[in-house]
Chain A
Amino acid sequence: MGRARASRALAAFRPLYATRLATFGSTVVLLFALMAVFGPALAPYGANQQVYTDARQPPSLERPFGTDHLGRDVFSRVLLGTRDIFVLAGLGTLVAVLVGTAVGLLTTYLGGATEEITFRVFDSVLAMPALLFALLLLGTFGPSRNNVLAVIAVAYVPIVARVVRSVVLNVKTKDYVAAARMQGESLSRILLREILPSVLPALAVEGALRFSYAIFLVASLGFLGAGVQPPNPDWGLMISEARNFVSITPWALYFPAAAISLLVIGVNLMAEGLATALGRTP
């Protein structure tokens, strides 16, 4: 019994490894996740530990990614920045998925004016491109990690809710939902047991996509100086700081840039694999 459950739990991860590209993507994401967990234990230097004598070192065995103009170890900073990006983008996405799902499920199933008003308001948020909305919020409330987190959640709730809505609109007309009503099932049971399972595949794909856009957003905000503030080892911020020294210490720019790209591509490939395995187009 326990074994069967374990194998079923393992089977839940199978879509992540459905295609060769998805396998590559999922593995990359897994590696970064491990870095996020164990980064602080592995990093040879502190994020802001400056060794002036070592400043502007090109990559070498001791300094795998070199050092920046202030003598900070780029490898350590990239490693330590991983946790930041996972916490901000990951947590923000998670909140957006949870809230968006709840709102999307409930309002769409109930329909009528509640649904109409909710999604009109969401449309008004979506009428602003995400980065613009994020800048507006951070511009007024000031840049901080918590605000970045909140911005991601607020910006993505409408998008997740929309995806959920499109599935629920289809499922709620299904006869098995009518059958549940004929059995006198409660609203929560209809939502959670009858409808939610059909939403999960779309949600998995959308969640992965949102995560990748959130990474993008966090990095872009950092680069523009409106997100995470110095001296935190944020990847976007590192690129922004290094761009003025690009002809002297190009490695300080290229390594965090590569980290962002690799992680985003990994997440995208994972989402693509999920979509293929679960039979949805992203």
Chain B
Amino acid sequence: MSAALRIEGLSVAYGTGVGARRVLRDVDLEIAAGETYGLVGESGSGKSTLALAVMRQLDGAARIEGGRIRLGDDDLLARTPDQMRSVWRTRLKLVPQDPIASLNPRVRVGEQIGEALDGARGRRDRVHDLLARVGLADPVRVARSYPHQLSGGMQQRVMIALALGGEPELLILDEPTTNLDVTTEATILDLVRDLVRERGTALLYVSHSLGVVAQLCDRVAVLYAGELVEDAGVEDLFATPLHPYTRALLDAVPSLDTGTGRAPLRPIVGAFPQPQALPSGCIFAPRCPVATDLTHEVRPPLERAGPTRRVRCHRWRDIADGTLDPRQPAEVRAGADEPAPGAGDVVLELVGIEKEFPIRRSLRDIVARRPARAVRAVDCVDLRLTRTRTLGLIGESGSGKSTLAKVVIGLVPASGGRMELLGVPLAHDIARRDHSVLRRLQMVFQSADEALNPTMTVREILRRPLQRLALSSRDGVRERLAALLESVRLRPEHADRRPGELSGGERQRVAIARAFAAEPDLLVFDESVSGLDVSVQASVLNVVRDLQVERGSAYLFISHDLAVVAALADDIAVMYLGALVETGPTQAVLAPPYHPYTEALISAVPVPDPRVRRDAIRLRGDPPSPSDPPSGCPFHTRCPRFLGDVCVEEAPPWLEGEDGNRIACHIPLDELVRLQGSVAGARPPVSVEARE
């Protein structure tokens, strides 16, 4: 069988000479016809560079230093840009990461797809066919739309339709679901799987997510700092990873099935190597727990480790036969697990919290006496946070979870309801809270890039809360600053750097240190690890968990990532369109009976284990607008377990489960259990037979 794509010895660098950043080195890979090939790596691994190199779309500063790229029998690197045109037109297609930016804002979708098709005859019908094939319900309307009129998921379907237009030999998908919600991601992955099955197109799927790759691909290659370190069939790679880096990656991913025990994750020690100062031996040696002198001095070759797998490690044989354990050392936890003093005391109580954002009325509305409308971002939320416990708040974009975080902090004053901090009523507006309140309540934001002032040094950033909130003396500040840095595992010399000189993980740890400076009673984490690579995310999560054991703070941990929440939270609250739909202890929420929305969320999480298949519970369409929420149960428009009129007309009652969870649903609990009993949640994974 001939290969759809064969890459031999590909090296790419930015710049020349000593400062050259060599982002891809000596990469070999082969994608068989009809094969779905996954390429995983963390940011900086060079995976997107590889995709762009195949497309011949590297930017001007990048240089291909050597190697060959063959599509079928064609040497792509030998082609001039003009000669690439015919390849792009029919044989090789790319679905990029950011669909809205990748579509021309001023041209109708139909025309953008149509202009790529050969021949003028019947073009419009072919465009409609393509749109229908990617699962868009109303192709005629979509074809007439402009990109901004479509939702993110629909835009990505349009990009896929665009790619299918030429009946390509190879389809490259570069993180196509990165900015989408999990439930949307799941439907896009279903689509890709169906298309591959139906047409036999070879697929190169580039991703940072081990879960997605495990669920989608036949073969997987792991890229680390520009080198391909392992390449194997998907079952082999996930069952018996041979390279220590692959092992480490798998250990760092929180998963729904392993998470609830609150076992510490295993982050990868050390830092990603700089592409202009790479180690001379094995590229992973500085972070490898089983490195030897040989590893440090000699770069290992990419060896065959079986009929269909290759690995770049000197010691793979010892790892393969089980005599060597390549796992990263487990981080020692700071405290014992005995309950800290005051555990269970209520720190924050929210009762009926509401937040409405008024919509500006137009002149015509005022003339027509139309009533003022508002977006109901948070709708009557009751929550209770207790000392030393973590409440995980989960929801997709638009669920109002971030607004709720800002309401708690006071950055966005609530429009209704009541908050109590340690039994004392809490002012809604941050401007009305005095220092003694401010120091008890802190927040860690999503993006440390925006949470740290780029013009200040780490020292200046940390000094202020120590002076103002912790009221430290001058000497005290110096000591506590050092202690703070240590508690988030940063070195003293980090104090003099500016945020721009730190890595993403380091920045987030500075942000955490700032929040902890005054030893708050309650910390809100708003998607605080979402932007981080898995290995970094694991170490930040461990820091967060250890600090809680030490300090006994209550956490409100907000995330869209169910696995991360499951790994950290004692309790979980699920939010949809501004309202809570299910709350309870983590174990109970992750086991049947579920709220139908929780069920769909769990089903959508891609499990990093190819043997596990979940029942596909998929949500239809897009979430409704919070300015015009559905009547009755807010979830009824998309609910896979929709009952009938009662869901449309009446708000659902709260049902009390046996394990302490509460579900807002019209379906009785025993009926939910009957419907959902087969779905894997926190139960042992249901194995399916190995695929060919």
Contact = CB atoms under 8 A, between A and B. Distances in A.
Q: Do chains A and B touch in the complex (CB under 8 A)?
A: yes
Interface of A: 174-176, 178-185, 193-194, 197-198
Interface in B491-522: 511, 514
Given A183-B464, A183-B465, A183-B469, A178 B435 contact: no
Given A175-B447, A182-B442, A182-B443, A198 B469 contact: no
A178 B464 contact: no
Contacts of A183: 438, 464-465, 468-469
Nearest to A173: B450
B438 A182 contact: yes
19 contacts: A174-B450, A175-B446, A175-B447, A175-B451, A176-B450, A178-B409, A178-B445, A179-B445, A181-B411, A181-B431, A182-B442, A183-B465, A183-B469, A184-B434, A184-B468, A184-B469, A193-B456, A197-B455, A198-B455
B261 interface: no
B454 interface: yes
B430 interface: yes
B454 A198 contact: yes
Nearest to B446: A175
Nearest to A179: B451
Q: Which of A174, A182, A184, A197 has the most CB of B within 10 A?
A: A182
A183 to B, nearest CB: 5
A180 B430 CA distance: 11
Contacts of B453: 176, 194, 197
A197 B461 CA distance: 14
B249 interface: no
For the residues of B in contact with A, the DSSP-based class is mixed
A194 B461 CA distance: 10
B443 A185 contact: no
Contact of B411 (A176, A178, A197, A198): A178
A162 to B, nearest CB: 22
Contacts of A179: 443, 445, 451, 511, 514
Contacts of A197: 453, 455
Contacts of A198: 454-455
B567 interface: no
A184 B452 contact: no
Nearest 3 CB-CB pairs, A to B?
A197-B455, A175-B451, A175-B445
Contacts of B430: 181-182
B525 to A, nearest CB: 13
Contacts of B465: 183
Contacts of A184: 433-435, 438, 468-469
B469 A175 contact: no
Nearest to B434: A184
A175 B455 CA distance: 14
Contacts of B441: 182
Contacts of A178: 409, 411, 443, 445
Identify which of A178, A183, A197 gathers the most chain B CB atoms within 10 Å of its CB: A183
Contacts of A180: 464
Contacts of B454: 198
B435 A176 contact: no
B498 to A, nearest CB: 11
A178 B431 CA distance: 11
A26 B520 CA distance: 51
B546 to A, nearest CB: 22
Contact of B451 (A176, A181, A185, A193): A176
Contacts of A175: 445-447, 450-451
Contacts of B433: 184
Nearest to A197: B455
Nearest to B438: A184
A176 B514 CA distance: 11
A194 B453 CA distance: 7
B476 to A, nearest CB: 17
Given A178-B411, A183-B468, 10 more contacts: A174-B450, A175-B451, A176-B451, A181-B431, A183-B438, A183-B465, A184-B434, A184-B435, A185-B464, A185-B468
Interface in B395-430: 409, 411, 430
B552 to A, nearest CB: 20
Contacts of A194: 453
A84 to B, nearest CB: 37
A193 B434 CA distance: 21
Nearest to B454: A198
B466 to A, nearest CB: 10
A180 B111 CA distance: 49
Contacts of B511: 179
Contacts of B438: 182-184
Nearest to B433: A184
Contacts of A185: 464, 468
Contacts of A182: 409, 411, 430, 438, 441-443
A175 B524 CA distance: 13
Contact of A176 (B446, B452, B468, B469): B452
A179 B464 CA distance: 11
B446 to A, nearest CB: 8
Contacts of B468: 183-185
A229 B468 CA distance: 57
A181 B514 CA distance: 13
A101 B409 CA distance: 30
Contacts of B456: 193
A67 B535 CA distance: 78
Contacts of A174: 450-451
B408 to A, nearest CB: 11
A144 B394 CA distance: 68
Contacts of A176: 450-453
Nearest to B448: A175
Interface in B587-642: none
A176 B447 CA distance: 10
A277 to B, nearest CB: 16
A14 B686 CA distance: 64
A174 B435 CA distance: 22
B403 to A, nearest CB: 13
Q: Which of A180, A184, A193, A197 has the most CB of B within 10 A?
A: A184
A183 B409 CA distance: 11
Contacts of B442: 182
Nearest to B469: A183
Nearest to A184: B438
A167 to B, nearest CB: 13
Nearest to B435: A184
A182 B518 CA distance: 11
A183 B460 CA distance: 13
Contacts of B411: 178, 181-182
A11 to B, nearest CB: 14
Contacts of B431: 181
A174 B511 CA distance: 14
A179 B462 CA distance: 11
A194 B430 CA distance: 18
B1 to A, nearest CB: 51
A32 to B, nearest CB: 32
Nearest to B445: A175
Nearest to A187: B431
Contacts of A181: 411, 430-431
A227 to B, nearest CB: 40
Interface string B153-189: 0000000000000000000000000000000000000
A181 B442 CA distance: 11
B517 to A, nearest CB: 9
A198 B452 CA distance: 12
A94 B669 CA distance: 72
B144 to A, nearest CB: 35
Nearest to A196: B455
A135 B111 CA distance: 52
A182 B511 CA distance: 13
Which of B409, B434, B453, B455 is the most central at the interface, judged by chain A CB atoms within 10 Å of its CB?
A: B453
A133 to B, nearest CB: 31
Interface string B39-79: 00000000000000000000000000000000000000000
Interface in B221-275: none
